[in-house]
């Protein structure tokens, strides 16, 4: 019974932490940073929540009353899950930064990077 309570508490804590980070990002996304933070938040919210959830389970695992061998096996699985979710978060961050960079373009803010490439081709002719 204690195991179930601890794991549910960890899941609830992870959900609250994910919600709090969502509120903080939405509150701080103002002015020039709004487009950048909104893009990063939109693309990385799920991986970030998954990382928080896995970390919460890793922290709560020693507090359970499971046998030592089971705890070691579950810890190993959770560490692998943390590696996978951390890699997922890194990939999504890279995609978000790529989208931000393409949106800003090569000096031509009005048309983005496609218009910048077109103007380079026209200039070379």
Convert the pLDDT of each residue in 15-55 to its tens digit: 999 999 888 888 887 777 788 888 888 899 999 999 999 99
Convert the pLDDT of each residue in 84-93 to its tens digit: 999 999 999 9
Q: Is the pLDDT of residue 124 over 80?
A: no
Output the pLDDT for position 25.
85
- Return d(Cα 115, Cα 125) in angstroms, integer: 16
Convert the pLDDT of each residue in 54-111 to its tens digit: 999 999 999 898 899 999 999 999 999 999 999 999 999 999 998 888 887 655 455 5
pLDDT interval class at 116 (50, 70, 90): low
Output the pLDDT for position 2.
85
Coil, strand or helix: which one is 105? coil
In terms of Cα–Cα distance, which of 61, 93, 92 is closest to 75?
A: 61
- Return d(Cα 99, Cα 9) in angstroms, integer: 37
- Return d(Cα 95, Cα 100) in angstroms, integer: 9
Q: Within 29-67, where are the H helices? A: 34-60
Higher pLDDT: 115 or 77? It is 77
């Amino acid at each position: 019974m204690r195991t179930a309570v601890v794991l549910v508490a960890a899941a609830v804590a992870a959900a609250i932490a994910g919600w709090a980070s969502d509120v903080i990002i939405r509150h701080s996304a103002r002015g020039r940073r709004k487009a950048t933070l909104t893009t990063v938040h939109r693309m990385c919210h799920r991986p970030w929540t998954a990382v928080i959830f896995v970390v919460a389970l890793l922290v709560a695992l020693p507090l359970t009353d499971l046998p030592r061998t089971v705890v070691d096996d579950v810890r190993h699985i959770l560490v692998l899950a943390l590696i996978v979710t951390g890699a997922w978060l890194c990939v999504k961050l890279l995609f978000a930064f790529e989208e931000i960079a393409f949106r800003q373009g090569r000096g031509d803010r009005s048309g983005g990077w496609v218009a910048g490439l077109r103007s380079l081709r026209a200039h070379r002719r």
